[in-house]
């Protein structure tokens, strides 16, 4: 039987220090991949989630729900909202410059999120133990102090950059090698902090 990992940091977990080469406070955190459905500027119907670095191990992000993101008529699809939080929480890894993958994501939907509304997300790293990075976030409707609509927490596991390259199809790697602007996260100085 496999064990389910918690998104709550265990006793003794420490919030990691912001990396010296993390995006500057207040600056836009780049998209890791231009065609990413969550944050890629090149995806025609994606979320186009924008995130900005906070002062510590935190960030703010936002995206506007369009008709391409609806589930029930006029409302954001729950899976799309989960994606938005996975994207925002994942962008926290830019602050500690550790590539990571989602191990577990928990999302609580508190009120409906209608199309045309903008979800304002605040996210933070709540702890790290070895390769496990614990995170949490909340999203508010139409302003940073609007009604609380969604809460989420996630566990990420730090991996080597080769994880992403090994799992991509050969043809696609050839394509992106000719278009390096699509792969902002392929940075030889993006180190692993175990």
Give the pLDDT score at 2: 59
Q: Is residue 20 part of a domain?
A: no
Q: Which residue has the tokens 């302003």?
A: 143
Question: Is the pLDDT confidence value at 73 over 50?
Answer: yes
Q: Is residue 164 part of a domain?
A: yes
Range of the domain at 142: 50-182
φ and ψ at 142, to 5 degrees? 65, -5
Q: Is residue 68 part of a domain?
A: yes
Q: What is the pTM of this model?
A: 0.86
Give the pLDDT score at 36: 84
Q: Is residue 78 part of a domain?
A: yes
- The total number of structural domains in the chain stands at 1
Q: How far apart are CA 92 and CA 125, in angstroms?
A: 7
pLDDT tens digits for 145-181? 999 999 999 999 999 766 666 767 777 667 667 766 5
Q: How far apart are CA 65 and CA 119, in angstroms?
A: 8
Q: Is residue 25 part of a domain?
A: no
CATH of the domain at 138: 3.10.129.10
Give the pLDDT score at 193: 37
Q: Is residue 117 part of a domain?
A: yes
β-bridge pairing 118-129 and 58-64: antiparallel
Q: Is residue 194 part of a domain?
A: no
């Amino acid at each position: 039987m496999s064990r389910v990992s918690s998104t709550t940091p265990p006793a003794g977990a420490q919030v990691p220090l912001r990396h010296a080469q993390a995006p500057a406070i207040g600056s836009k955190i780049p998209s890791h991949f231009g065609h990413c459905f969550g944050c890629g500027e090149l995806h025609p119907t994606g979320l186009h989630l924008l995130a900005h670095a906070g002062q510590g191990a935190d960030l703010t992000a936002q995206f506007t729900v369009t008709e391409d993101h609806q589930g029930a008529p006029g409302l954001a699809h729950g899976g799309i909202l989960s994606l938005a939080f996975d994207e925002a929480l994942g962008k926290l890894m830019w602050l500690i410059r550790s590539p990571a993958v989602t191990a577990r994501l928990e999302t609580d939907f508190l009120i409906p999120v209608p199309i045309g509304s903008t979800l304002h997300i605040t996210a933070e790293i709540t702890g790290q133990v070895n390769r496990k990075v614990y995170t949490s976030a909340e999203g508010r409707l139409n302003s940073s102090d609007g009604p609380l609509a969604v809460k989420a927490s996630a566990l990420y596991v730090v991996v080597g950059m080769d994880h992403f390259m090994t799992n991509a199809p050969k043809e696609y790697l050839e394509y992106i090698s000719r278009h390096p602007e699509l792969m902002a996260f392929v940075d030889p100085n993006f180190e692993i902090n175990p």
